[in-house]
Amino acid sequence: MQSFDLTPSERQELYKFTIDFLEKYYSDTKSNRVSPRLDISEIVKEVRKVDFSAPLTSKEALKHLVEGMKNYSVQTPHPKYFGLYNPRANFPSILGDLITAVFNPQLAAWSHSPFANEIENYLIAEFGKKFGYSTESIDGVFASGGAEANLTAVLCAVNYAFPQFAKSGWFGVRKRPVMYCSAESHHSVHKAAKTVGLGYDAIRNIPVRKDLKMDLEILKETIQKDVHDGYQPFLVIGTAGTTGTGAIDDLPGIRKIADDFGLWFHVDAAYGGAAVLHPDLKPYLNGISLSDSITFDAHKWLSVTMGTSLFITRHKEILSETFRITAEYMPKEAKDLEIVDPFTHSIQWSRRAYGIKLYLALMIFGWEGYEKTIRHQTEIGEKLKGLLKNSGWTVMNSSPFPVVCFMDENYLDNPDFTKTVIKNIIDSGKSWLSIYPVFGKPTFRACITNYNTSEEDIEALVSELNEGREILESRIKNQGTK
């Protein structure tokens, strides 16, 4: 029977073979197309040409896999990927993922992976302090992503507002619960409401002001109306760096309204939370320390591999109250120790160790290294805004973060303009950016997600945009003369 371990010499050879492939890609990512050609039949054929009844050699299999990922993926590590919050992963976090895979720790029971569990406890405590929570009150858990962290927040808010919920569920709640968020909030908030059984109708999407922040006057009026109509408000969510425009809600103002009506106040800082590591950006998150809980994704601006999200709260007991459960088959080695088993503290049961890659990156780069990286990306974002304005584009958002929504105002009412220009750029494979509606008008959205993105890269992007605009203008002019 073939050994799943392979032999030591085979492993050494395959380590080197794989690393040589990956190193070539990692060191020369820029030479690849940013986006693949989306030929569905070709991609399906490439995947399915492998016959599991006739296994390949190890090297053939590895080559097939790496080449497939290189040729048929949007290259988020590319310096001209200006898309969603999917950055290039720093190398220590990649090594952290490798180490995690080899040891394969299972974090349900503290006693089975005490070192990995304490790494995550330490990181929760350190980031909790960075966000301004008092040391003695900090608690939290790592999650697979911001969606799970936001779902955790909704569940904690439910159990905080309705202490009987763990036993009787919604059957024990007399008034219909409702929750509040900005119209610019991430859709994971809506998914969380659906998942916990509240449904979309329980969400009040509060309009935003001209600065794209949640309108607190409307928030207050909406809550007052819901109370009058017999609903039970229990949660308000502010955002520190919205997905679309990077807007930061008025967090102190939300806290005051939450206090007036006895609501749990959660801040979705999945992207913008990293600003606490930059002294010039940190003031924009004023009020985040007043929140009851925070979502923060290290796999966004901290450039670690997917997925590494943190849910942090200043309510020491709420996670246990929300998720506590007993299971006789779980290990009992630590029953006499003052520890918390993660399976009693989070949505997940058996799960991967998410924190190791962030721990390794912080050990090597430190807070200062991250501050410098965030500063560089912010400066590149500001330079991009300047280049766009000089080329006749209008910046449509005002975020201090390197998220730029922009448009040629002459084409604001022409939805085909953005689609056509972006399609040409993406089809060329030179860059990747997205479209985002600002007050119902489609705009271009470019985000600096890569610590290697340079001035040369953004100059090239603006040239591509200008060229696309010129081609479209020429086409429209020719059509008008016919």
Where does the pLDDT of residue 161 fall: very low under 50, low under 70, confident under 90, or very high at 90 and above? very high
Delimit the domains of the chain by residue range. Answer: 8-75, 99-361
Where does the pLDDT of residue 333 fall: very low under 50, low under 70, confident under 90, or very high at 90 and above? low
Strand locations in 172-325 (E): 177-182, 203-206, 232-239, 264-268, 293-297, 309-313
Closest to 402 (Cα-Cα) out of 368, 450, 369: 450
pLDDT at 117: 93
Beta bridge partners of 240: 248
pLDDT at 327: 54
Q: How far is CA 83 from CA 86, 133, 145, 147, in A?
A: 7, 32, 18, 19
pLDDT of 330 strictly over 60? no
Question: In the predicted model, what is the mean pLDDT of residues 183-210?
Answer: 93
Strand locations in 185-313 (E): 203-206, 232-239, 264-268, 293-297, 309-313
- Please tell me the distance from the alpha carbon of residue 340 to that of residue 362, in angstroms, as a whole number: 24
Full-model pTM? 0.92
Model confidence pLDDT, tens digit, residues 290-306: 999 999 999 999 999 99
Which one is predicted more confidently, 79 or 335?
Answer: 79
Model confidence pLDDT, tens digit, residues 382-434: 999 999 999 999 999 999 999 999 999 999 988 889 999 999 999 999 999 99
pLDDT at 329: 43
- Please tell me the distance from the alpha carbon of residue 53 to that of residue 239, in angstroms, as a whole number: 51
pLDDT at 326: 61
DSSP assignment of 73-84, as one string?
S--TTSTTB-SS
- Please tell me the distance from the alpha carbon of residue 272 to that of residue 242, in angstroms, as a whole number: 8
- Please tell me the distance from the alpha carbon of residue 141 to that of residue 129, in angstroms, as a whole number: 15
- Strands 232-239, 177-182: pairing kind: parallel
Across the chain, mean pLDDT equals 92
Where does the pLDDT of residue 325 fall: very low under 50, low under 70, confident under 90, or very high at 90 and above? confident
pLDDT of 362 strictly over 90? yes
Question: In the predicted model, what is the mean pLDDT of residues 339-360?
Answer: 88
Per CATH, the number for 99-361 is: 3.40.640.10
Beta bridge partners of 438: 441
- Please tell me the distance from the alpha carbon of residue 262 to that of residue 459, in angstroms, as a whole number: 50
H or E element that contains 406: strand 403-407
pLDDT of 482 strictly over 70? no
